[in-house]
Amino acid sequence: MPPMNNSGFGQKIYSYLLAAYRWYLLTPQRSLDEAYKAALHIKALEDEHFNGKRIDAITSGYSSSMMDYFEIDLRKQLKIARMRLTEFRASRWFSNESNQKAARKAGIEYPSPALTLEKLRFIDEVISKYTIVDIEPISDVVEQPSIVKADNTNLPPSPVSLSIKNLESIPRPRPKPRGKADTTGILPRSILSTISRLQTELDPNSEQDVVQNFRQAQRRTIISIRFILFLIIIPLLTHQLSKFAFSPVINHFRPTEAAVFLNGEMEEEALEQLHRFEEKIRFENLIVNAPPISTEEIENRLKEKAQEIAEEFRSESTNAIKNVVADIISVVAFIWFLLVSKPAIAVLKEFFDNVVYGLSDSAKAFIIILFTDVFVGFHSPHGWEVILEGVSRHWGLPANRDFIFLFIATFPVILDTIFKYWIFRYLNRISPSAVATYRNMNE
């Protein structure tokens, strides 16, 4: 039995220990660099979205959904910066002169003290602004009813708002626009909106605010339309590309002698076509007063037609399998696009909110009646039946009549209940005149 090579094994152990020791010596520099990157990320958010100021929902014009997105990123980077600073202090505490000598022998060069102090100063300058923000989310503070009301009525601030004022002395901002569902108050909204309009017209900075609001609305519209187009184009384009890419693979694993029909409905349809072709041959022979066609000739023509029908349905079956694969990939791409587009979704929500609630009462009632009549009205079962049969045929599945009838008997009813609850719970509160118009038009 040959002797074991202990020198190679020992060399590996030594290399692992040396790498671990180098990692230990580089801990202060690595921790400081990661904390510095987190501070740079926070500073980039401030410069790009908040004009270089602290990330604050009170002074910004963003919606609560967008502020939630910024707050999650802010809290994550603050946590990284503070944890790495703690790691930096701990590693510096255990560092001594022998470690520095060992680092020099290992070829590790620490940055100059001036550069280290400059990074620490920048990190402290950034994270010192957020001593309360990461404990109490900003959007929760803005959504406190005691701070801002949608009817532009200023009430006494809550203790949370007082703590933020003590943290940073800023002038009280204008009330942030709220959703339509929260615009209930003692006085009618028309009087309150008139008072608000007068306050805006008397404000010397109203012109700048109008220009800024217009630019924000323009940017919101462009982002929303572009996002809607992407929602349509990305699934369709992904479906076509994936179908084209997987076609050779599916054709390879589905040989020519594979089953022609994926379900019984395809077979019945093929037999119906072949039977109709046979009757067409006999009928054409009768109307032209030609000699009777022999049975052998009819059999030959039927055989050719059967081969043609079989090839057609084999191609349709293969195409249905490709559709299943392409649809799965399209759904994955669609979900991925939604996950990476959270800010755009928040902008789209505001866009639809402004468009829908900006319509007149008659327009709202017209849209509601059109939607309900199409999807949950008297004639909607026929539409749902066509849709379900089309989907079944698209995937090569048999159209289960029991499932279709069960779906039609339950889903439109559930949808109608949800829609009526929405009208009763929300629309009746934010726009009673639209509900009255809807009832009059529906009657």
Whether 69 and 120 share a structural domain = yes
> Does 29 fall in a domain?
yes
> Does 209 fall in a domain?
no
CB 349 within 8 A of CB 226: no
pTM: 0.50
Whether 265 and 330 share a structural domain = yes
Whether 376 and 288 share a structural domain = no
Whether 20 and 101 share a structural domain = yes
> Does 191 fall in a domain?
no
Per-residue HEC secondary structure of the chain comes to CCCCCHHHHHHHHHHHHHHHHHHHHCHHHHHHHHHHHHHHHHHHHHHHHCCCCCCCCCCCCCCHHHHHHHHHHHHHHHHHHHHHHHHHHHHHHHCCHHHHHHHHHCCCCCCCHHHHHHHHHHHHHHHCCCCCCCCCCHHHHHCCCCCCCCCCCCCCCCHHHHHHHHHCCCCCCCCCCCCHHHCCCCCCHHHHHHHHHHHHHHCCCHHHHHHHHHHHHHHHHHHHHHHHHHHHHHHHHHHHHHHHHHHHHHHHHCCCCCCCCCCHHHHHHHHHHHHHHHHHHHHHHHHCCCCCCCHHHHHHHHHHHHHHHHHHHHHHHHHHHHHHHHHHHHHHHHHHHHHCCHHHHHHHHHHHHHHHHCCCHHHHHHHHHHHHHHHCCCCHHHHHHHHHHHHHHHCCCCCCHHHHHHHHHHHHHHHHHHHHHHHHHHHHHHCHHHHHHHHHHHC
Whether 370 and 229 share a structural domain = no
Whether 266 and 365 share a structural domain = no
Domain boundary at 171, 205, 239, which? 171
Domain boundary at 106, 138, 171, which? 171
* pLDDT of res. 207: 72
Whether 326 and 390 share a structural domain = no
Q: How far is CA 97 from the centre of its chain?
A: 53
> Does 200 fall in a domain?
no
Q: How many helices (H) and strands (E) does the chain have?
A: 17, 0
Look at the chain and report how many structural domains it folds into: 3
> Does 179 fall in a domain?
no
In angstroms, the Cα distances linking 181 to 103, 151, 343, 427 are 63, 12, 22, 8
Low-confidence ranges of the chain (pLDDT < 70): 1-12, 14-18, 21-22, 24, 59, 94-111, 131-190, 192-193, 199-206, 255-260, 289-290
> Does 197 fall in a domain?
no
Whether 229 and 375 share a structural domain = no
* pLDDT of res. 154: 42
In angstroms, the Cα distances linking 298 to 176, 283, 301, 309, 398 are 81, 12, 5, 16, 32
> Does 141 fall in a domain?
yes
Whether 29 and 150 share a structural domain = yes
> Does 398 fall in a domain?
yes
Helix, strand and coil percent figures for the chain, each rounded to 5:
75, 0, 25
Whether 127 and 235 share a structural domain = no
* pLDDT of res. 107: 59
Whether 47 and 112 share a structural domain = yes
* pLDDT of res. 437: 82
* 35 token code pair: 């904390």
| Tens digit of each residue's pLDDT (9 = 90 or more) over 328-377 | 999 999 999 999 888 888 888 888 888 877 788 888 888 888 888 888 87
Domain boundary at 316, 345, 374, which? 345
* pLDDT of res. 14: 62
- How many Å apart are CA 291 and CA 285, to the nearest integer? 8
* pLDDT of res. 156: 41
Whether 146 and 283 share a structural domain = no
Q: Which domain holds residue 305?
A: 221-345
* pLDDT of res. 259: 62
